[in-house]
Amino acid sequence: MAEVQVLFAGFGGQGVLAMAKFLAYAALGTGKNVSWLPSYGAEMRGGTANCLVTIADEEICSPLTENPAMAVIMNRPSLDRFEEKVKTNGVMLINSSLVDRKPRRQDLRLLQLPVNSLAEEMNNPRGANMILLGAYLEKTGIVSIEEALAHFNDIFEGKKPSIIEKNREAFLAGVEYARNNW
């Protein structure tokens, strides 16, 4: 991997920035160079939130891009806003629980899963973001599942053990869903 940029987008409160931060820390833990560039509305919860994560083997010249190679989309407004920005032949992972349409573009590798429904089934509604992240890492290999799990406690440092375990379970449920459904 020379350099890859991943856009995470959704509403504030969906864990968009947390997913991006998790990926950034996991990539850092493997020795990669990383930038984490969040953007969110002043209203936070319920407002728009997105974050661009750049991961590279070499020094990162600029953390900005107009056209990321990958996008993780948590809601319909984010799909509407960012669909055209993803690079040709890029990857788009979509939360189909909250996105009621497929991308109009035919040149994207599309992965969809109902993360909110899966999180509810697990009795962990706040775990939707971790389910999506687990599926994303399983399918892209941008950071291996083993490497992500090795840094899990560091990423969630300071959280209660029960919260860490619920996040780990949600993450692994996403990994399993991706293995069995795509």
pLDDT tens-place string over residues 120-151: 999 999 999 999 999 999 999 999 999 999 88
Would you state the pLDDT for residue 44?
55
**In angstroms, rounded to a whole number, what is the distance separating the alpha carbons of residues 43 and 45?**
6
Whether residue 16 is predicted with pLDDT greater than 60 in this model: the reply is yes
Proportion of the chain above pLDDT 70, given as a percent? 96
Q: Tell me which residue of 86, 85, 181, 87 sits closest to 131, measured CA to CA.
A: 181
The mean pLDDT value of the chain amounts to: 91
**In angstroms, rounded to a whole number, what is the distance separating the alpha carbons of residues 1 and 7?**
17
55 dihedral zone (left: phi>0; alpha: psi -120 to 50; beta):
beta
Would you state the pLDDT for residue 12?
84
Residue 29 to residues 61, 124, 130, 143, 176, Cα–Cα distance (Å): 20, 27, 18, 10, 23
Q: Which carries the bigger pLDDT value, residue 157 or residue 169?
A: 169
Whether residue 182 is predicted with pLDDT greater than 80 in this model: the reply is no
Would you state the pLDDT for residue 53?
96
Helix (H), strand (E) at residue 6: strand 3-11
Q: 107 Cβ partners below 8 Å, 6+ apart?
A: 88, 89, 90
Would you state the pLDDT for residue 66?
84
Whether residue 1 is predicted with pLDDT greater than 70 in this model: the reply is no
Q: Are 97 and 117 in contact (CB under 8 A)?
A: yes
Span 61-82, mean pLDDT? 91
Whether residue 41 is predicted with pLDDT greater than 70 in this model: the reply is no
**In angstroms, rounded to a whole number, what is the distance separating the alpha carbons of residues 19 and 139?**
15
Whether residue 3 is predicted with pLDDT greater than 60 in this model: the reply is yes
**In angstroms, rounded to a whole number, what is the distance separating the alpha carbons of residues 115 and 103?**
18
Tokens of 152: 């899990």
How would residue 69 be classed by pLDDT, with cut points 50, 70 and 90?
Answer: very high
Whether residue 153 is predicted with pLDDT greater than 90 in this model: the reply is no
Proportion of the chain above pLDDT 90, given as a percent? 75
Would you state the pLDDT for residue 26?
93
Would you state the pLDDT for residue 72?
96
Superfamily of domain 3-181: Pyruvate-ferredoxin oxidoreductase, PFOR, domain III (3.40.920.10)
- Residues facing 3 on adjacent strands: 56
- Strand pairing report for 3-11 and 33-40: unpaired
**In angstroms, rounded to a whole number, what is the distance separating the alpha carbons of residues 80 and 102?**
10
